[in-house]
């Protein structure tokens, strides 16, 4: 890795830590330079403003999340098994320390600056990248029967967020692996009760 790229990574790592601990507005460029072990000029050479730095942190998270596997519908595998795999992957992402850390920073910023919500909404993460295609293929194979695929996709993902992501994000509860596996089973069962072709 080139020195310039390494410095940029140090700045991003330091900003993520400080933004999480102190908040974006409360973090100064001086603190950032100190935490990143670079000069203030180096920080400004890479990121002219904290807003650009915040957006770069978000983009780095989106890039990491977009590297996960895409699951395609397979007619030879029971659909419940495939949905459980999709849900388990989503739960792993939503409950990961790295995702929760950046999500906390992002939510605080979006509350102060609603225009950032569009930036987040425009970046498909996790199963949102492929789930509508999966459902369309399952319907074409006559395994599922769904009139409104975008709505059904949201039902599935939002259930996972409601039971896994938000309780962890706000510290409402600790979750064991067994609890998360139970949630996956129940959410998949409910989804299939509504959409599996009879």
Q: How far is CA 52 from the centre of its chain?
A: 20
Which residue, among 68, 57, 88, has the nearest Cα to 164 in the 3D structure?
88
CB atoms within 10 A of CB 4: 11
- Tens of pLDDT along 69-100? 789 999 999 999 999 999 999 999 889 887 88
Structure tokens belonging to residue 169 = 């994000």
Q: What three-state secondary structure class fits 145?
A: coil
Strand partners, 144: 196
Q: How far apart are CA 179 and CA 79, in angstroms?
A: 22
Q: How far apart are CA 14 and CA 46, in angstroms?
A: 13
Nearest 5 degrees, angle CA 120-CA 79-CA 121?
A: 5
Predicted local confidence at residue 160, as pLDDT: 94
What is the percent of the chain with per-residue pLDDT over 70, rounded to a whole number? 90
The answer, yes or no, to whether residue 16 has pLDDT greater than 90, is no
Find the mean pLDDT for residues 49-66.
77
Q: How far apart are CA 144 and CA 83, in angstroms?
A: 12
- Tens of pLDDT along 145-170? 999 999 999 999 999 999 999 899 88
Predicted local confidence at residue 133, as pLDDT: 97
């Amino acid at each position: 890795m080139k020195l310039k790229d390494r410095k940029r990574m140090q700045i991003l790592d330091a900003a993520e830590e400080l933004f999480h601990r102190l908040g974006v507005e409360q973090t100064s460029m001086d603190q950032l330079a100190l935490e990143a072990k670079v000069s203030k000029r180096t920080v400004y050479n890479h990121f002219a403003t904290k807003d650009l730095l915040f957006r770069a942190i978000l983009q780095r998270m989106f890039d990491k999340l977009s590297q996960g596997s895409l699951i395609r519908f397979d007619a030879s595998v029971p659909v419940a098994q495939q949905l459980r795999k999709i849900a388990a992957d989503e739960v792993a992402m939503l409950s990961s320390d790295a995702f929760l850390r950046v999500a906390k920073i992002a939510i605080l910023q979006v509350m102060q600056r609603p225009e950032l919500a569009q930036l987040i909404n425009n970046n498909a993460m996790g199963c949102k990248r492929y789930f509508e295609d999966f459902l369309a293929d399952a319907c074409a194979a006559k395994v599922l029967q769904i009139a409104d695929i975008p709505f059904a996709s949201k039902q599935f993902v939002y259930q996972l967020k409601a039971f896994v992501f938000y309780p962890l994000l706000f510290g409402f509860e600790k979750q064991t692996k067994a609890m998360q596996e139970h949630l996956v089973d129940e959410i998949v069962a409910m989804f299939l009760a509504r959409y599996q072709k009879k």
